[in-house]
Amino acid sequence: MNEIALAIRVLVALIFLTAALGKSRHRLAFQGVVTNYRLLPEIAVPGFALLLPLVEATVAAALLIAPAGGPEVSAATLLILFAAAMAINIFRGRRHIDCGCFQSALKQTLSWTLVARNVALALLLVIPAAVPGRSLPVSGTAEGLVMGSALFLLLQTMNILWSVVPAWRLRGALVTGEGE
């Protein structure tokens, strides 16, 4: 069970780390994404856009090195807040905006799939939070690291497909004249 707990921690840490790096590399674009959500006062947007990647990177590091409990709660809280922000905008009819996940080179518009993904990841964090932080043997640590990395690659592949499929559908509709 400790290997599974480690795999989940690695998975979520890699998600937060890549998101933090993407947001940091494209700081102005991310600031625009935060503005598009229309959840913060305009004056707070630049500071939030600068601070969030630092928080995500800190949570990622804590998931990899800190004892169980605190990092999982922090990560789950962020994931639920992100899901809530997406859901609010979906309810407002604002599905067209970029989710701001910065998980791949492709933009993802808001969808219930993304909301469900974040909620599922938050719920998944219950497992490592509940598992006592015993040391794993080297083989168990390697298994957990490999499983978490493989899950991350699978999720990244799914993210790309979630981004590409709507574009394919739109292209098909335009080619056949259905999009006119």
The residue type at 28? L
Residue 153 has pLDDT above 60, yes or no: yes
Between the ranges 46-55, 69-78, 92-101, where is the mean pLDDT highest?
A: 46-55
Average per-residue pLDDT for the chain: 83
Mean pLDDT of 146-173: 68
Strands (E), the chain: none
| Beta-ladder partners of 98 | 109
Identify the pLDDT of residue 172.
Answer: 59
- Closest by CA to 103, choosing from 152, 65, 54, is 152
Identify the pLDDT of residue 180.
Answer: 46
Cα-Cα-Cα-Cα torsion 72, 76, 78, 84, nearest 10 degrees, comes to 180
Give the domain ranges of the chain.
Answer: 2-176
Q: Binning pLDDT at 50, 70 and 90, where does residue 178 land?
A: low
Residue 71 has pLDDT above 60, yes or no: yes
Q: CA 29 to CA 144: how far, in whole Å? A: 34
The three-state secondary structure class of 131 is coil
